[in-house]
Chain A
Amino acid sequence: MNTTSANNPPLPPTPAFNMLRTLGLVATLSGLLVVLSYQVTLPMIERNKQQAIEKALYKVVPGAVQRKDFVAIEERIELLDTQPEGTLLYAGYDQTGQLKGIALETAAAGYQDVIRLLYGYDPYCQCIRGIQVLKMAETPGIGDKIIKDARFQQNFEALEARMHPSGKGLQQAIVPVKQGNKTEAWQIDAISGATISSNAVARMLNETSQHMVPIIMKNLPIMEQF
Chain B
Amino acid sequence: MASLPNQQETITLDTFLRGLWQENPVFVMLLGMCPVLAVTNSAINALAMGLASTFVLVASNSLVSLMRHFIPKQVRIATYIIIIATFVTMVDYAIQAISLELYNALGAFIQLIVVNCMILGRAEAYASKQRLGATIINGLGIGAGFTFALLCLGIVREILGAGSLFGFDLFGDQFQPWVVMILPPGGFFVLGAWLLLFNWLRTRREAKLLETEGAPHDG
Contacts and interface: CB of A to CB of B under 8 A. Distances in A.
Interface of A: 1, 3, 11, 14, 18-19, 21-23, 25-27, 29-30, 33-34, 37-38, 40-41, 44-45, 48-49, 52, 135, 137, 139-142
B182 A140 contact: yes
A33 B86 CA distance: 7
Contacts, number: 79
Contact of B179 (A14, A48, A140): A140
B82 A26 contact: yes
Interface string B65-89: 0010011111100110011011101
Interface in B16-72: 41, 67, 70-72
Nearest to B125: A1
B104 A22 contact: no
Interface residues of A: mostly helix, strand, loop or mixed?
helix
B212 interface: no
B75 A19 contact: yes
B183 A26 contact: no
Interface residues of B, number: 36
Interface stretch (B90-98, B136-144, B191-199, B201-209): B90-98
Nearest to B104: A135
Q: Which 6 A-B pairs have the closest CB atoms?
A: A141-B179, A44-B97, A30-B86, A41-B97, A41-B93, A37-B90
Interface of B: 1-2, 5-6, 41, 67, 70-75, 78-79, 82-83, 85-87, 89-90, 93-94, 96-97, 99-101, 104, 107, 161-162, 177, 179, 182-183
Given A37-B94, A41-B93, A23 B179 contact: no
A45 B96 contact: yes
Q: Which of A11, A34, A142 has the most CB of B within 10 A?
A: A34
Given A37-B90, A141-B183, A26 B79 contact: yes
